[in-house]
Amino acid sequence: MEPIEVGILGATGNVGQQFIHLLSNNPWFRITALAASERNVGKRYSEACAWRLSADMPAAVRDLIVQPCEPGLNCQIVFSALPAGPAQEIELRLASAGYGVFSNASAHRMDADVPLLIPELNGAHLGLLAHQRESRGWDAGFIVTNPNCSSMGLTVALKPLYDAFGLRRVIVTTMQAISGAGYPGVPSLDILDNVVPLIRGEEEKMATEPLKILGAFEPTSGTLVPASFAVSASCNRVAVRDGHMESVSLELERKTSVEDLIRAFAEFRNRPFSLGCPSAVEHATVYRAEADRPQPILDRGAGRGMAVTIGRLRPCEVLDYKMTVLSHNTIRGAAGCSVLNAELMVAEGLL
Amino acid sequence: MEPIEVGILGATGNVGQQFIHLLSNNPWFRITALAASERNVGKRYSEACAWRLSADMPAAVRDLIVQPCEPGLNCQIVFSALPAGPAQEIELRLASAGYGVFSNASAHRMDADVPLLIPELNGAHLGLLAHQRESRGWDAGFIVTNPNCSSMGLTVALKPLYDAFGLRRVIVTTMQAISGAGYPGVPSLDILDNVVPLIRGEEEKMATEPLKILGAFEPTSGTLVPASFAVSASCNRVAVRDGHMESVSLELERKTSVEDLIRAFAEFRNRPFSLGCPSAVEHATVYRAEADRPQPILDRGAGRGMAVTIGRLRPCEVLDYKMTVLSHNTIRGAAGCSVLNAELMVAEGLL
Amino acid sequence: MEPIEVGILGATGNVGQQFIHLLSNNPWFRITALAASERNVGKRYSEACAWRLSADMPAAVRDLIVQPCEPGLNCQIVFSALPAGPAQEIELRLASAGYGVFSNASAHRMDADVPLLIPELNGAHLGLLAHQRESRGWDAGFIVTNPNCSSMGLTVALKPLYDAFGLRRVIVTTMQAISGAGYPGVPSLDILDNVVPLIRGEEEKMATEPLKILGAFEPTSGTLVPASFAVSASCNRVAVRDGHMESVSLELERKTSVEDLIRAFAEFRNRPFSLGCPSAVEHATVYRAEADRPQPILDRGAGRGMAVTIGRLRPCEVLDYKMTVLSHNTIRGAAGCSVLNAELMVAEGLL
Amino acid sequence: MEPIEVGILGATGNVGQQFIHLLSNNPWFRITALAASERNVGKRYSEACAWRLSADMPAAVRDLIVQPCEPGLNCQIVFSALPAGPAQEIELRLASAGYGVFSNASAHRMDADVPLLIPELNGAHLGLLAHQRESRGWDAGFIVTNPNCSSMGLTVALKPLYDAFGLRRVIVTTMQAISGAGYPGVPSLDILDNVVPLIRGEEEKMATEPLKILGAFEPTSGTLVPASFAVSASCNRVAVRDGHMESVSLELERKTSVEDLIRAFAEFRNRPFSLGCPSAVEHATVYRAEADRPQPILDRGAGRGMAVTIGRLRPCEVLDYKMTVLSHNTIRGAAGCSVLNAELMVAEGLL
């Protein structure tokens, strides 16, 4: 198979760099277009971008000329690392012009006809695309989104439990990494020797995105019925580079045991891995039995950053159970999920 | 009034140093005895102690000779900064020998006849001392304890709400400072760029201590009826020097409004301040209206470290309300509370 | 004495807030004017400023209306916390209009007729002001500057040695705090678990400012003869909130002993303290004999942040001696020095 | 070639774990013996060891039974991760019993007949082994050491300059990572928001080890003539997990240009790489031209942690040139060098 030609919107920012890093060794895709904001258009990428990853900038992108974020990009699909504001219009324009858009931005996540996709969880939601194209009058283009980085870890961890036992209520407190705010992002004076108890918009996303992701796609109507449990989130920023930690308490619909819950994580299988998607890992949920795990330093790299690590599953004095969840926010929680979304569509013959 | 002569048990450790620092300018007490473990007995304090506070070692203690933790100390009361293990026996021996023991250790906190005292909250629990002396056959000696540092902030913040609206259920996630583990305490490799989701014994203490503290002293029987709400805690260590942050969700007995809850914090009055205790602050609960407060760097010093700061009070999608609570763990949460316990007994004429 | 009315230029930034904090309890000055950039002019200070100090915003400034940085401010002197760019013109305009300008900016530091003042070191340089006024045609106005925060600690520490033994060569490596870059300043992704080996312009300042400060004022010519030793600096940013550490190696003109050097620090006396300046401390240079001092956490607050702490004085295998120097970069190294500059002029009857 | 069977002394500690991690994929060696202190002897390694690397414990060592650090280990060579104290005797005993000992401990580094080996720099020093065996009466056994982690980066960076231009004097200030102190090592209260200006014994090692390493082996006498330049070091601990930064000023014997020095780094070739040693990298010295490099976060992983990164080469106002040097202290500076030492001996037919 010839690699599919792909472009990156917002290629010079932090998530854009992650996209480039992840895609540069991906056998199914080849980067042929990089797009960014006006002031960088026309420059060679190596001049336009202040590269901040420890892995060196891939040679293949150094000399690509940065293009505007508009139709005319020489590629079939684009990965969007744009901020929510510009993403709103630009993604519509590109989808309308025939591009497949895989977006990490929040702009269209909650649109009724846009899949909010975690490929190991709700691949069936790709069924929304028929409805999306029809209602919007698009030919080949489409928009597929991936969730917010803090919703991501939570929802992956909830999925095996939701399927097996049902969920009623979830209370989650996050301790989120600074890389989640991009670059320059969090000023060091705000976080060194400190915790910031506010991440704007994050708690609202965590209250709604998991319900859409765990919702049921109705093939007949072509629409989605969201899940109906309640999520209450308290979001905090802590002095960690990568890896969002979450302390979670939950109430189930059907009572069970700690052992059964742990088994649900162990037995959880995912279709992208079965289909051979290059970014998929066999175990999307990893349970650590040690009393003091997960920890960002030790576990954020699990499954090359694509696995969600769960630990400390134990009874909760108020709801049913509590546990700790960790996911790598810039890989699993952003670029990595978006790339896997595209791989799933390739594997399913949809691209 | 002549200052009361006091001693410190475990004077060379972190909490011991905090006791010395706080007591050195206290007009009601004068440090006349320092006690520590065998290997330091007989040394001058300035030789025995690796002083680690930024304020210099008070001149008045430099030349005190370190004594064993036994009866024979030339003082009337002792503040105990001992670890839980040794505290068990030593504190009993000293109380039995006639010393008033104000203990920061967990050893006797949950003993039925020992006050677990936060002087702004439950001064009435000092009524237990009559029962304590009688049942144990002690003359002048007694044991008064203060709670665990993470229970402290939570319970102070809950008190005004408990009194006004009643409490049913509380879910709390802590982000605790490294100083809570003493010195050498948390290895830097465990916490730099990391979060540790386990602090042994802490969640159990948070599930039980608040109920005792907010319990009712029954003067007729001389016993305590604990409060009956449920507390579920998830305790995490973060890279902060001082100041425990807590994300709290709670369910009330009587429904109310955000405004009423905030007013309860503002209107909360405390008896130690009215009585003129030197360590008391007028506002033991401080509500910050800014969206991103409290923060350890900005708020841990509120009220000279004795105030508990609350912020972000808002509806909870699962229980009734959620909020963020911060308290200084080594002042409010340890030595400062213990000193105020002693001040309250002085002010009440019990010492 | 009536307090002198003072204004602050750049009042909403980090150094501006430090000026307000330090001046709010200063018995010799009263803040009557706050000035900032256009977008804040006309607002109440409490609305214009995102206050970031742990001490609350002083009540006396909350309702002051922010003014433009222009003549017309109702005060006699101004403290300038402006960035170097705008400072260039604005400070000239204000001095020309009759204001005494005490500037923390680098714009005019190296002007031949502008004192680069550390009041404990080179008060005689105020003699330049006569020349300054004459050559620039100013009546009452003038400009007095204080040095860069990393030059500050070094030069204070060198002064007693320079006076007693002469200096030939100095090699210094700095480990500088993040607060030196202002707010938002250093992105957290750049400094958490990291060291940045570049602070633009800093090494050049350290190579030149100490020579001017330790230079000799010639009363007859009214000019300054700079000192003639060589300084080579390597400047690094580290994950510390406040307090610049410096590892210093030096070669003396006259050979001596470790004991003599330490004695020079101990015996160093300063005129601002003798004159009763409120911000002066008796010991501007504090030598710590412990093997592992100074440390930012323990020593940056020495002398209310105005003392420079020196430690580890020992022979150098290449030059003569080496030592470690620490100073609080936002107090001693910025606003605190500027305020003391003004106090010295008051005490000397020059204001 | 059959892999050589190797053992690890001090296998449960931090450096021991690094050895296991690095050796587990090494094609030339197979771990067959793990040895540790008495209290762990007899346990399965997975029980004896609190594994703290993010990479999981290799399956191949999980069930090995921990042995005492004595002759009787079923292997041909041992890598010693012992502390200096116990290393003194144990390493002698094992070498005497016929084992090849590759030691990361400081105990025997400065023994006249023991190579202090950096395989890219001074492979010729292996000639000392003949003398070592003869004088000590050993048959097959021997001791080869690698330098202290802070000497390592400095000496690798100095080597190309020393060879091409000669060295007279070096002044170096280190900013060293916490992993250099092992586990539990540096207490977090000592380093968060802090710098510690003392690492015991480190400055002495940096003053002597580079001279031995860069010394000349005289084949006729079989002895070593150390290099004769002077090194003055100031060692600091900073809040970085891995990667020692060093600000270096140096005086050359023969004057040259910045360009020539940079070229010397670029042109530096190393024999272990030419010989195909698996742990060797083509470029042991990497020069980064960016103004703000090297940085621990970005560059410590260069060459899989085996390359030393240099940057900011520029004239020094006091000596000739100054530069910044970074090396990964637990890979390049400890276990990685030791493994490469063994590989070089294999490649040279000495094992």
Put simply, the answer to whether C54 touches B192 (Cβ < 8 Å) is no
Put simply, the answer to whether B54 touches C301 (Cβ < 8 Å) is yes
Torsion angle, alpha carbons of C276, C277, C278, C283, to 10:
-80
For chain C, percent helix, then strand, then coil, each to nearest 5? 35, 25, 40
Comparing CB atoms, the residue among A193, A241, A301 nearest residue D192 is A193
Residue spans of chain C under pLDDT 50: none
Nearest to A153 by CA among A257, A254, A239, A235: A235
Find the DSSP H helices in chain C: 14-23, 45-48, 59-62, 84-96, 128-136, 149-165, 188-191, 202-213, 258-267, 271-274, 296-299, 336-347
Catalytically active residues of B, by annotation:
149, 244
Comparing CB atoms, the residue among D185, D189, D241 nearest residue B178 is D189
Phi, psi of D46 (to 5 degrees): -65, -20
Q: Are B148 and B338 in contact (CB under 8 A)?
A: no
Residues in chain A: 351
Measure Cα distances from D336 to D81, D103, D275, D279, D307 in Å.
Answer: 12, 12, 17, 7, 11
Cα separation of C199 and B152, whole Å?
A: 43
Give the per-residue pLDDT at B217: 97
Catalytically active residues of A, by annotation:
149, 244
| D318 and D209 share one domain | yes
Which two tokens mark B119? 């002087």
Phi, psi of B85 (to 5 degrees): -60, -70
Nearest to B319 by CA among D135, A251, C228: A251
Torsion angle, alpha carbons of D251, D256, D260, D265, to 10:
-20
Find the closest chain D residue to A52 by CA distance.
D298
Q: Are A227 and A125 in contact (CB under 8 A)?
A: no
Put simply, the answer to whether C197 touches D169 (Cβ < 8 Å) is no
| C155 and C300 share one domain | yes
Q: Kindly report the nearest CA distance between residue A179 and chain C, in angstroms.
A: 7
> Residues 6 or more apart from B30 whose CB is under 8 A from it?
B3, B4, B5, B6
For D205: left if phi > 0, alpha if psi spans -120 to 50, otherwise beta; the answer is: alpha
Phi, psi of D63 (to 5 degrees): -100, 5
- Strand, helix or coil at A91? helix
Comparing CB atoms, the residue among D232, D292, D318 nearest residue C230 is D318
| A237 and A188 share one domain | yes
Nearest to C118 by CA among C81, C177, C82, C158: C158
* Enclosing H/E stretch for B159: helix B149-165
| B41 and B179 share one domain | no
pLDDT tens string B197-209:
999 999 999 999 9
Measure Cα distances from C246 to A215, B183, B260 in Å.
Answer: 59, 27, 53
Comparing CB atoms, the residue among A184, A189, A241 nearest residue C192 is A241
Which two tokens mark C198? 């570049």
- Strand, helix or coil at B211? helix
| C222 and C303 share one domain | yes
| D144 and D244 share one domain | no
Compute the half-sphere exposure of residue A129: CA atoms within 13 Å on the CB side of its CA: 21
| A181 and A105 share one domain | no
For C85: left if phi > 0, alpha if psi spans -120 to 50, otherwise beta; the answer is: alpha
Measure Cα distances from A151 to A240, A313, C298, D303 in Å.
Answer: 18, 19, 41, 36
Q: Kindly report the nearest CA distance between residue D283 and chain A, in angstroms.
A: 15
Write down the residue that tokens 């030393």 correspond to. D308
Query: In degrees, to the nearest 5, what angle opens at C-alpha C229 toward C-alphas C227 and C233?
Result: 115
The pLDDT of residue B120 is above 90? yes
Percentage of chain B with pLDDT > 70? 100
What is the domain count for chain B?
A: 2
List chain D residues with CB under 8 Å of A193: 192-193
| D153 and D214 share one domain | yes
| A115 and A163 share one domain | no
Sign of the Cα torsion B78, B80, B81, B82 reads: positive
| Mean residue pLDDT across chain B | 97
Q: What is the CATH number of the domain that holds B45?
A: 3.40.50.720
C270: amino acid identity, one letter: N
| A230 and A275 share one domain | yes
Which two tokens mark C46? 């409490």
Put simply, the answer to whether C198 touches D234 (Cβ < 8 Å) is no
What end-to-end distance do the CA atoms of chain D give, in Å?
12
Number of helices followed by number of strands (H, E) in chain B: 12, 13
The pLDDT of residue B265 is above 80? yes
Q: What is the CATH number of the domain that holds D307?
A: 3.30.360.10
Nearest to B149 by CA among B206, B231, B102: B206
C105: amino acid identity, one letter: A
Catalytic residue among D244, D277, D283, D337: D244
| D298 and D185 share one domain | yes
Put simply, the answer to whether B54 touches C298 (Cβ < 8 Å) is yes
List chain A residues with CB under 8 Å of B241: 193
Which residue segment(s) compose the domain that C127 sits in? 4-148+335-347
List chain A residues with CB under 8 Å of C186: 187-189
Give the per-residue pLDDT at A1: 75
Put simply, the answer to whether B249 touches A241 (Cβ < 8 Å) is no
Put simply, the answer to whether A197 touches B239 (Cβ < 8 Å) is no
- Strand, helix or coil at A55? coil
Percentage of chain A with pLDDT > 90? 99
Residue spans of chain A under pLDDT 70: none
Give the per-residue pLDDT at B45: 98
Give the per-residue pLDDT at D100: 98
Q: Kindly report the nearest CA distance between residue C212 and chain B, in angstroms.
A: 33
Give the per-residue pLDDT at D1: 75
Strand partners, A321: A250, A315
- Cis omega before residue C294 (within 30°)? yes
Chain B interface, Cβ < 8 Å to A: 169-171, 173, 175, 193-198, 207, 230-232, 234, 236, 238-241, 245, 247, 249, 291-297, 311-312, 316-319, 322, 324
Catalytically active residues of C, by annotation:
149, 244
Comparing CB atoms, the residue among C54, C297, C299 nearest residue B298 is C54
Give the per-residue pLDDT at B347: 98
Cα separation of B340 and B327, whole Å?
A: 16
Strand partners, B237: B176, B196
Put simply, the answer to whether D52 touches A193 (Cβ < 8 Å) is no
Cα separation of C201 and C174, whole Å?
A: 13
| A171 and A114 share one domain | no
Model ipTM? 0.96
Torsion angle, alpha carbons of A342, A343, A345, A346, to 10:
120
Put simply, the answer to whether D187 touches B191 (Cβ < 8 Å) is no
A162: amino acid identity, one letter: Y
Please give the distance of CA A96 from its chain centroid, rounded to a whole number: 23
Cα separation of A3 and D196, whole Å?
A: 53
Q: Are C95 and C141 in contact (CB under 8 A)?
A: yes
Which two tokens mark C119? 């009041």
- Strand, helix or coil at A239? coil
